[in-house]
A and B are shown apart, each in its own frame.
Chain A
Amino acid sequence: DSGVTQTPKHLITATGQRVTLRCSPRSGDLSVYWYQQSLDQGLQFLIQYYNGEERAKGNILERFSAQQFPDLHSELNLSSLELGDSALYFCASSAFLGPGDTQYFGPGTRLTVL
């Protein structure tokens, strides 16, 4: 158990809908990262927050947004869903900021868009 929790574990929805994925980092970790794992793109970095502030953006679509709350949990919002958004979404957390700081991953949320 990494100490990172994600809910829900599975999510099935229809095209055009909006969903929210939730992540609770390990106790004391200030950084939260979101990654997407799809069959054709592999594991890709989406967005990072540190202590409530957005720090870096990767290959995140404009239809996707995220935030980190004062209690450090984070939510990833996906809207106007398309079939191609079906993927595993992972949250990871680390204590601080910077290369070499180990990231611990949650179990993921499997999103299926029908």
Chain B
Amino acid sequence: DQQVKQNSPSLSVQEGRISILNCDYTNSMFDYFLWYKKYPAEGPTFLISISSIKDKNEDGRFTVFLNKSAKHLSLHIVPSQPGDSAVYFCARSVEDGQLTFGSGTQLTVLP
């Protein structure tokens, strides 16, 4: 069973500070891990991905870290902005590309 778990249902951060969202996974082979952001009444929007052969990937304010020994990945958002307030999902992409999602973390960035 290839699961991804997000253990924190919510996170509040002050504007300008760092937001760190976490995800744990099981039974990894050669996978990709992705982060999606979702606003209410919209579909998920792709943010950033990382191959399981890498440790880090950066795109502007977003950085994803992969710790293979701990089976853990994290998304760092620096600096956090009020527009970043949304639900963030980590996901694993396997085989033909279908995604297995975590349960999501509601990020609230306070002005």
Instruction: Assess the A2–B95 pair: CB atoms within 8 A.
Output: no
Assess whether A107 is in contact with B97, with CB atoms less than 8 Å apart. Answer: no
Instruction: Output the residue of A48, A103, A104 with the most chain B CB within 10 A.
Output: A103
Q: How far is the CA of A55 from the CA of B51 in the complex (A)?
A: 22
Pick the interface stretch among B17-25, B40-48, B58-66, B71-79: B40-48
Whether A33 pairs with B46 at a CB distance below 8 angstroms is: no
A70 sits at the interface (CB 8 A): no
Q: Is B89 an interface residue (CB 8 A)?
A: yes
B51: nearest residue on chain A (CB-CB)? A100
Q: Which of B32, B98, B100, B101 contacts A100 (CB 8 A)?
A: B32
* B104 touching A97, Cβ below 8 Å: no
Flag if A105 contacts B98 (CB, 8 Å): no
A56, A92, A94: the one within 8 Å of B95 (CB) = A56
Q: Are B49 and A43 in contact (CB under 8 A)?
A: no
- Give the residue name and chain of the A residue nearest to B103 (CB): A42
Chain B neighbourhood of A107, CB < 8 A: 41-43
CA distance A103 to B96 in the complex (A): 12
| Cα A45 to Cα B3 with chains together (Å) | 13
- A104 adjacent to B46 (CB under 8 Å): yes
A107 to B43, CA, bound (A): 4
Q: Is A28 an interface residue (CB 8 A)?
A: no
Query: Inside 8 A of B46's CB, which chain A residues have their CB?
Result: 102-104
**Contact between A90 and B99 (Cβ–Cβ < 8 Å)?**
no
Docked complex Cα distance between A11 and B45 (Å): 23
A4-48 contact mask (Cβ, 8 Å, vs B): 1 or 0: 100000000000000000000000000101010000001111001
Pairwise interchain contact B98-A45, C-beta atoms closer than 8 A: yes
Interface flag for B85 (CB, 8 Å) = no
27 A-B residue pairs with Cβ-Cβ distance under 8 Å, sorted by A, are: A31-B96, A31-B97, A35-B99, A42-B102, A43-B104, A45-B98, A45-B100, A48-B96, A48-B97, A48-B98, A55-B96, A90-B43, A92-B43, A92-B99, A98-B97, A99-B30, A99-B31, A99-B93, A99-B94, A99-B97, A100-B32, A100-B49, A100-B97, A103-B46, A105-B44, A105-B45, A108-B42
